[in-house]
Structure 1
């Protein structure tokens, strides 16, 4: 320990395209500057460790980098390889909506009816770090187990609680974490962020089971190395696996890198024709508490999963405004400001050209001001379902023979899921229909495909941009890539952060758990740093 970044590197945020150094030295090198890395820095920023962050993207979202995202898709269609990734400082936080939902105990348990299920750590080992993650996202501290109707100040819905449960997810009021991350770097003499630096290889030490250095390259072809005592691979659910696969000597004993890749199969499945639109939206549209936005959900209970031997599933209602209308235009401006971006001129123009509809917003304004609820006028209520999938080796990430613009192999994604996902969807829809009939809030008009064959259903399921499990956590190297401390099996100084370490995926959006695990890893590394510096 105690080595420093080269003394000629005086700025804390630098551009590798402009660097002349052949070698950088650090105590810890982190590959990737996204949400997981921000979470790690929140813990390590006050330690004596010299940290260098290597980010392939830049401070700005670069349209030219779209070509670097493209993967070869050989399995089920997978749009998220481009639309669901951001190669920039801040990672996907610069474009995501900020939705947060913790896992539940059953999500990490060994479910005997689900292949390869179970995490090697307990639920408590994850959940104890959720409060810290929520603070980083500026979320309201309302516990997730508070009964939904009490927050909404509405009568409780009469659901079969053995099968379905009402709950909520939270949305961060400031989901773009780029400024938070760069702020840590700018105010620390210990942390350097290097943008436009592509990690092209992890180089194994000749005589030891550890990484000696990494090789980085600029888009213009300049190459350098980074030496460190510890390395953290934090580049995203697809890139983590790709970088390992490009470092063949390092993984010669590993058979699980890229295997059991998962997402959340998702679809809009029905339109709800409301008997009372205002009441339907009061129960299922967004509402606010403080700055935090809440989204009501209906999910399958743990009891029902166990009883019927099914996977996890969740549903929510999207109230879609008429295309090109005033409400849609206002939503566009709201999203831009939430992501800390100036709305485009076109978005302001869309508002002004639709001001004739201003009277339609009276109910919206009243609903928000009086009840802190969102009311979407003249909307179509679409029921959306998001599903868990089984971890199977037939779903994987590999290296393609096709190169990216730098001549490096792109990722090949072979995403697939078993019939248990489809059976879960069928059973979940049946429970929703029978329960919804009792509520008398409206009639569910199912899309035609939902009643058809397994193949037809499979063809209508899409990915949710949740790239998970390609470097999964496990007890042994025979069933995964990292151990319970997110350290790569058989490699003494390489750790992995992000959704790629998830053993199973439940139905929850992954970001809050990404952050919780990254914070957990940072505390583990911090205790080691303190021990070393005290010696």
Structure 2
């Protein structure tokens, strides 16, 4: 290898590996890169190719019967990091996220923060974010942080998100990383897992069957497999691997695919402010830059519902982060349209530049001199609010009778949103408005649904963070994988990614995905290398 197309491998060639990692996104990349010096023969398997194409992406088809989930999967080298919307926000879970909470059915992790903490900084480095601004820190490094007015922390508190970036200030994309340097890695592209094959006892992994883009199938003998294919694809693979176990692998207790969660949020901003207060808004929420140890990295500030308030009022963990919509007359946008000869009204664009010369000057200074985030002219400024969900066993991924072009069952999603998610977001939004008026002097305005919720959920969308469909549990009757992420009762079969999370917290999942993947890599290094 190191990068080889399954379609080009002779049918007589024997395929085998000590460890097969299925999926080349953040989890798969982290495990493969961490173990490349272990002496193990590792094969990183990707369903897609080097670049995205419509034919491969068609394999992501889903039948929605509940609330529609954004189909943001990417079948390509690098996985989700190739998605156009990939922002690479990095934040760890709060302590309350691991707890068993009486008001949140099926909550509680079989591990705690102390099990994940040793891997968070390394995970942050893998994602290009450097040193973390931890959500539990009272102060963070960077300008204008220490002088913040004090909030009523019985209700809300500040929180920070890092952004993983390259030195060129772009989100880290593993497609580029793997193409540039796959040294020490064996990568097989256009290889879709079509079946997991167990030993005759059905208690250990024996091999996997993979299909190339033309549907030709091959067998890879292996000692261990890690599924890193995402919150929808991981359960799908386990469910259609049913040649030996009729209900699928890991599904003896009908747990595979259940508890499908995401981060529901309003399609617009729950809290908005007067655009004329943009300077104050930016000074409070960012983005800022700080010295991360890996260069200057951006971060933003937002709000989170305090853990004590969650406990007192039996609410869910939720957070709010800043967003802005650019004005059409933003001078930078107008300049780009003119330079690229895409202006539909050259006179108006020239007028936008001349009439907003102060914005243009600040943008150029930020980009070329101070290398700070660019401040542009906004049409709308405010905060999005998103939350975790109550784990609902009826919110799930199952299989349809319809087959894709590789003769694999198309998944069905039944994503359900409950009242407590909306109630938690309403509480946070109202407290943010109160605190912004009281402490920051911002004229906060609440969305209609925050002021008068009618009981509907059709205004909510997902965050492209499918979670918990192969949840971690100490007891096989209540989950799919054990605390080491091995499928209950199946030696050598592991799952990595947000599908193992018992609850989702408010955090973007990628940092936690990579931290848990590195924890799994440590486990595999000891177990497989020793054997």
Q: Do these two structures clear the TM 0.5 threshold for a shared fold by scoring above it?
A: yes
Question: Deviations for 1:355-403, whole angstroms, at most 9, x for unmatched residues?
Answer: 7645232233456756935422244103210111011101100001222
CA contact (8 A) 1:275 1:442 kept: no
Specify whether residues 252 and 508 from structure 1 end up closer, same or farther in structure 2 by C-alpha distance, changes over 3 A only. closer
Whole-Å separation in 2 of the counterparts to 1:413 and 1:329: 42
User: Which residue is 1:492 aligned to?
Assistant: 491
Specify whether residues 328 and 286 from structure 1 end up closer, same or farther in structure 2 by C-alpha distance, changes over 3 A only. farther
Whole-Å separation in 2 of the counterparts to 1:251 and 1:74: 24
User: Which residue is 1:61 aligned to?
Assistant: 52
Question: Deviations for 1:51-88, whole angstroms, at most 9, x for unmatched residues?
Answer: 11221101111133332212000111212x2xx21110
User: Which residue is 2:214 aligned to?
Assistant: 220
**Mapping of 1:272-287 within 5 angstroms?**
272-273=273-274, 276-287=277-288
CA contact (8 A) 1:287 1:373 kept: yes
**Mapping of 1:2-17 within 5 angstroms?**
11-17=1-7
Unmatched 5+ residue regions in structure 2? Answer: 167-171
- DSSP-derived class of the 1:438 partner: helix
User: Which residue is 1:264 aligned to?
Assistant: 263
Whole-Å separation in 1 of the counterparts to 2:31 and 2:195: 22
Whole-Å separation in 2 of the counterparts to 1:68 and 1:29: 21
- DSSP-derived class of the 1:401 partner: strand
Is 1:151 aligned with 2:151?
no
Offset at residue 93 of structure 1 (A): 1.0
Offset at residue 182 of structure 1 (A): 4.5
Offset at residue 531 of structure 1 (A): 2.0
Offset at residue 206 of structure 1 (A): 1.6
User: Which residue is 2:73 aligned to?
Assistant: 85
- DSSP-derived class of the 2:48 partner: coil
Of 115, 118, 121, 1:131 maps to 121
Specify whether residues 348 and 210 from structure 1 end up closer, same or farther in structure 2 by C-alpha distance, changes over 3 A only. farther
Offset at residue 26 of structure 1 (A): 0.8
Offset at residue 104 of structure 1 (A): 1.2
Specify whether residues 351 and 45 from structure 1 end up closer, same or farther in structure 2 by C-alpha distance, changes over 3 A only. farther
Is 1:112 aligned with 2:102?
yes
Offset at residue 15 of structure 1 (A): 0.6
Offset at residue 192 of structure 1 (A): 1.6
User: Which residue is 2:407 aligned to?
Assistant: 407
**Mapping of 1:364-403 within 5 angstroms?**
364-365=363-364, 372-403=372-403
CA contact (8 A) 1:300 1:314 kept: yes
Specify whether residues 328 and 479 from structure 1 end up closer, same or farther in structure 2 by C-alpha distance, changes over 3 A only. farther
Whole-Å separation in 2 of the counterparts to 1:270 and 1:297: 12
CA contact (8 A) 2:256 2:469 kept: yes
Whole-Å separation in 2 of the counterparts to 1:425 and 1:259: 24
TM normalised by structure 2 equals: 0.89
CA contact (8 A) 1:285 1:319 kept: no
**Mapping of 1:244-263 within 5 angstroms?**
244-248=238-242, 249=245, 250-251=249-250, 253-263=252-262
User: Which residue is 1:308 aligned to?
Assistant: 313
Whole-Å separation in 2 of the counterparts to 1:347 and 1:105: 50
Is 1:18 aligned with 2:15?
no
- DSSP-derived class of the 1:58 partner: coil
Is 1:299 aligned with 2:304?
yes
Alignment length, in residue pairs?
502
376-385 vs 43-52, greater mean Cα deviation: 376-385
Of 210, 231, 234, 1:240 maps to 234
Whole-Å separation in 1 of the counterparts to 2:491 and 2:338: 52
Of 13, 27, 31, 1:40 maps to 31
CA contact (8 A) 1:72 1:410 kept: yes
Offset at residue 231 of structure 1 (A): 0.9
